[in-house]
């Protein structure tokens, strides 16, 4: 599965599981990805009455960019994700 923003490949968290679940649906559980739902309503920035919310999955690096651009979202990233090298973490949200 590719990042909805930059189109980089995002590997499944469980490589044994692969790209799809046993029922054939897409495995959206991707390594360090962020699931984002954007929605609106009547009189709002976007009225998504007919289109529904936008659901995207973005990669780790795009999630870091999102949190830098909108610091209010960083609260959600507290306790983010594990890193392989605690002395050299991938971002400020890693533990
Ligand atoms: Zn990306
Ligand atoms: Zn990170």
pLDDT in the model for residue 27: 94
Do 32 and 60 contact (CB within 8 A), yes or no?
yes
**Structural domain boundaries in the chain:** 1-95
Distance of CA 77 from the midpoint of ligand 2 (Å): 10
Name the nearest CA neighbour of 30 among 17, 43, 46.
Answer: 17
* pLDDT digits (tens), the chain, 95 positions: 999 999 999 999 998 989 999 999 999 999 999 999 999 999 999 999 999 999 999 999 999 999 999 999 888 888 789 888 889 999 999 98
Ligand nearest to the CA of 57: 1
């Amino acid at each position: 599965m590719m990042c909805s923003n930059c189109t980089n490949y995002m590997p499944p968290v469980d490589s044994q599981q692969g790209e799809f679940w046993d029922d054939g649906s897409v495995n959206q559980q991707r390594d360090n990805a962020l699931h984002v739902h954007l929605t609106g309503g009547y009189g709002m920035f976007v009225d998504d009455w007919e289109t529904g919310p936008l659901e995207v999955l973005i990669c780790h690096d795009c999630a870091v960019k999102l949190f830098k651009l909108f610091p209010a979202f960083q609260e959600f990233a507290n306790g983010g994700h594990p890193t392989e090298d605690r002395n050299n973490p991938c971002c400020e949200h890693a533990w």
